[in-house]
Amino acid sequence: MSNTFHVELITPQRHLLSAEAVHVRAPGSAGDFGVLANHSPMVAGLGPGRLQIDFTSHKEEFAIGGGYFTVNSNKVLILAETCLRKDEIDLEAARRDKQDAQRRMDAAASTAERDEARLAYNRANALIRVAEHKHD
Protein backbone atom coordinates (compact mmCIF):
# COMPACT_ATOMS: atom_id res chain seq x y z
CA MET A 1 0.00 0.00 0.00
CA SER A 2 1.24 3.45 -0.90
CA ASN A 3 1.44 6.05 1.83
CA THR A 4 0.57 8.94 -0.51
CA PHE A 5 -2.65 10.11 -2.13
CA HIS A 6 -3.61 12.75 -4.67
CA VAL A 7 -4.82 16.19 -3.50
CA GLU A 8 -6.55 18.86 -5.57
CA LEU A 9 -7.16 22.32 -4.05
CA ILE A 10 -9.48 24.56 -6.04
CA THR A 11 -11.22 27.92 -5.50
CA PRO A 12 -13.61 29.71 -7.85
CA GLN A 13 -10.68 31.94 -8.89
CA ARG A 14 -7.86 29.42 -9.35
CA HIS A 15 -6.51 25.89 -9.15
CA LEU A 16 -3.96 26.11 -6.32
CA LEU A 17 -2.62 22.59 -6.05
CA SER A 18 -2.51 19.19 -7.71
CA ALA A 19 0.02 16.94 -5.96
CA GLU A 20 0.75 13.78 -4.01
CA ALA A 21 0.54 14.18 -0.23
CA VAL A 22 1.02 12.02 2.86
CA HIS A 23 -1.35 13.89 5.21
CA VAL A 24 -3.96 16.63 5.11
CA ARG A 25 -5.29 18.46 8.18
CA ALA A 26 -8.41 20.51 7.50
CA PRO A 27 -10.75 22.81 9.44
CA GLY A 28 -14.02 20.90 9.36
CA SER A 29 -17.26 22.67 10.22
CA ALA A 30 -17.50 20.46 13.31
CA GLY A 31 -13.76 20.61 14.15
CA ASP A 32 -10.38 19.86 12.60
CA PHE A 33 -9.77 16.45 11.04
CA GLY A 34 -6.91 14.64 9.32
CA VAL A 35 -6.69 12.32 6.34
CA LEU A 36 -4.00 9.78 5.46
CA ALA A 37 -3.66 7.43 2.49
CA ASN A 38 -6.38 4.79 2.11
CA HIS A 39 -8.92 6.82 4.08
CA SER A 40 -12.54 5.75 3.87
CA PRO A 41 -14.72 7.74 1.48
CA MET A 42 -16.20 10.87 3.04
CA VAL A 43 -17.60 14.32 2.38
CA ALA A 44 -17.16 17.13 4.90
CA GLY A 45 -18.03 20.79 5.15
CA LEU A 46 -15.13 23.13 5.86
CA GLY A 47 -15.13 26.24 7.98
CA PRO A 48 -12.67 29.12 7.91
CA GLY A 49 -9.30 27.99 9.21
CA ARG A 50 -5.86 26.53 8.66
CA LEU A 51 -5.38 23.84 6.03
CA GLN A 52 -2.09 21.96 6.23
CA ILE A 53 -0.87 19.59 3.54
CA ASP A 54 2.15 17.40 4.30
CA PHE A 55 4.21 16.15 1.39
CA THR A 56 7.05 13.65 1.58
CA SER A 57 9.62 16.49 1.71
CA HIS A 58 7.80 19.54 3.16
CA LYS A 59 4.55 21.05 4.46
CA GLU A 60 2.38 23.83 3.05
CA GLU A 61 -0.14 25.91 4.95
CA PHE A 62 -3.18 27.70 3.60
CA ALA A 63 -5.91 29.87 5.08
CA ILE A 64 -9.29 28.85 3.72
CA GLY A 65 -12.62 30.58 4.07
CA GLY A 66 -14.82 27.49 4.11
CA GLY A 67 -15.89 25.01 1.47
CA TYR A 68 -16.12 21.26 0.94
CA PHE A 69 -13.72 18.32 1.27
CA THR A 70 -14.13 14.90 -0.32
CA VAL A 71 -12.11 11.70 -0.11
CA ASN A 72 -12.61 8.77 -2.47
CA SER A 73 -10.21 6.14 -3.87
CA ASN A 74 -7.08 7.85 -2.50
CA LYS A 75 -8.08 11.19 -4.00
CA VAL A 76 -8.85 14.29 -1.97
CA LEU A 77 -10.73 17.20 -3.53
CA ILE A 78 -10.86 20.46 -1.59
CA LEU A 79 -13.25 23.07 -2.96
CA ALA A 80 -12.55 26.24 -0.98
CA GLU A 81 -14.60 29.44 -1.12
CA THR A 82 -11.38 31.41 -0.57
CA CYS A 83 -7.82 30.23 -0.10
CA LEU A 84 -4.41 31.84 0.30
CA ARG A 85 -1.01 30.25 0.75
CA LYS A 86 0.72 31.32 3.94
CA ASP A 87 3.21 33.47 2.01
CA GLU A 88 0.37 35.30 0.19
CA ILE A 89 -1.26 36.63 3.37
CA ASP A 90 -1.09 40.35 4.14
CA LEU A 91 -1.07 40.18 7.94
CA GLU A 92 -1.77 43.88 8.52
CA ALA A 93 -4.74 43.82 6.12
CA ALA A 94 -6.09 40.73 7.88
CA ARG A 95 -5.81 42.49 11.25
CA ARG A 96 -7.68 45.51 9.88
CA ASP A 97 -10.36 43.22 8.39
CA LYS A 98 -10.76 41.48 11.75
CA GLN A 99 -11.23 44.81 13.57
CA ASP A 100 -13.70 45.98 10.93
CA ALA A 101 -15.67 42.73 11.20
CA GLN A 102 -15.75 43.07 15.01
CA ARG A 103 -17.18 46.59 14.68
CA ARG A 104 -19.77 45.31 12.19
CA MET A 105 -20.77 42.48 14.56
CA ASP A 106 -21.14 44.95 17.44
CA ALA A 107 -23.27 47.31 15.33
CA ALA A 108 -25.35 44.67 13.53
CA ALA A 109 -29.04 45.47 13.43
CA SER A 110 -30.12 42.00 12.34
CA THR A 111 -29.11 38.37 12.68
CA ALA A 112 -28.18 38.29 8.98
CA GLU A 113 -25.83 41.27 9.40
CA ARG A 114 -24.30 39.71 12.50
CA ASP A 115 -23.81 36.35 10.74
CA GLU A 116 -22.18 38.03 7.73
CA ALA A 117 -19.84 40.00 10.01
CA ARG A 118 -19.04 36.85 12.03
CA LEU A 119 -18.04 35.00 8.85
CA ALA A 120 -15.77 37.91 7.84
CA TYR A 121 -14.30 37.91 11.36
CA ASN A 122 -13.64 34.15 11.24
CA ARG A 123 -12.03 34.41 7.80
CA ALA A 124 -9.77 37.26 8.91
CA ASN A 125 -8.89 35.36 12.08
CA ALA A 126 -7.96 32.30 10.00
CA LEU A 127 -5.62 34.44 7.90
CA ILE A 128 -3.97 35.81 11.04
CA ARG A 129 -3.59 32.37 12.63
CA VAL A 130 -1.99 30.91 9.50
CA ALA A 131 0.32 33.90 8.97
CA GLU A 132 1.52 33.77 12.59
CA HIS A 133 1.79 29.97 12.82
CA LYS A 134 5.26 28.49 13.19
CA HIS A 135 5.82 25.08 11.56
CA ASP A 136 5.90 22.12 13.93
DSSP-assigned letters across all residues of 2-52? -S-EEEEEE-SS-EEEEEEESEEEEEETTEEEEE-TTPPPEEEEEEEEEEE
Residue 82 pLDDT class (50, 70, 90 cuts)? very high
The mean pLDDT value for 89-116 works out to 94
Instruction: Say yes or no: 28 and 69 in one domain.
Output: yes
Instruction: Give the chain's length.
Output: 136
- pLDDT given for residue 136 in this prediction: 53
For the chain, the C-alpha Rg in angstroms (whole number) is: 16
The pLDDT assigned to 103 comes to 95
The pTM assigned to this predicted structure is 0.88
Instruction: Say how many domains are in the chain.
Output: 2
Is 12 found in the same domain as 79?
yes
**Domain residue limits at 18:** 5-86
Residue 61 pLDDT: 95
Average pLDDT over residues 91-101: 95
